[in-house]
Amino acid sequence: MRVVIAGGHGKIALRLARLLSGRGDAPVGLIRNPDQIADVEAAGAEAVVCDLERATLEEVAETLLGAGAVVFAAGAGPGSGAARKFSMDQGGSVLLAEAAQRAGVPRFIQISTMGAGAPPDPGRGEVWAAYIAAKTAAEEDLRARPLDWTILRPGRLTDEPGSGLVTLADPPLPPGEVSRDDVAAVIAALLDEPRTRHRVLDLIGGGVPIDEAVRLVLMR
């Protein structure tokens, strides 16, 4: 399956590309910097330069033609200001979802964050508040669309090696952390399970193997 990953040079995206290419899928990483092409290709993905803060709807939709699924793994990233939270974490997601509709790609997985959908912690400052507001608005936009969407809200991300053991459930889960390896593996599992569409799921580290965690979600 051709899977287009927005934010293709991100830490989760590169991990996901390796997993997908390793099992025979055809990942495509959307990037805004041509200098990142070699890294994306080394992860086993096709690299396509497409800046979601500058591209037109038609340009983005063209990159999605023939895809079986889209993953929004993009974000403004650490050190960015409040304005970019809205232009990338919200605006980029909205543009990608609209492009998916236009290109006829129904499956859409959005990486959001634990805490979205609730008022932000006022003690964490203006930029954090903007980040939560942007992620919440992106989720609301996606839920209103006729796509087979799944929203994944991971906890605090780490670069620790993945354990393959997680806690995946309808929100809210208690605050926790999860490795980027395990987030990528959960996304790959969600792509395999269309019955997870129209679900919002929290994700932290835990004690349940990923495939089993997905099956348990379907029982709830």
Q: In angstroms, how far is CA 129 from the centroid of its own chain?
A: 20
Give the closest residue to 187 by CA, choosing from 208, 163, 210, 171: 210
- Is there a contact between 194 and 26 (Cβ–Cβ < 8 Å)? no
Residue 131 annotated in active site: yes
Active-site position among 17, 131, 147, 181: 131
219 is written with which tokens? 């029982």
> Would you list the DSSP string of 48-108?
EE--TTT--HHHHHHHHTT-SEEEE-----TT--HHHIIIIIIHHHHHHHHHHHHHT--EE
CA 189, CA 192: separation in Å to the nearest integer?
Answer: 5
Size (the chain), residues: 220
CA atoms lying within 13 Å on the CB side of residue 26 = 7
Instruction: List Cα–Cα distances, 175 to 166, 179, 206, in angstroms.
Output: 13, 14, 12
Q: Which residue has the tokens 């670069």?
A: 159
User: Which sequence positions are flagged as catalytic?
Assistant: 131
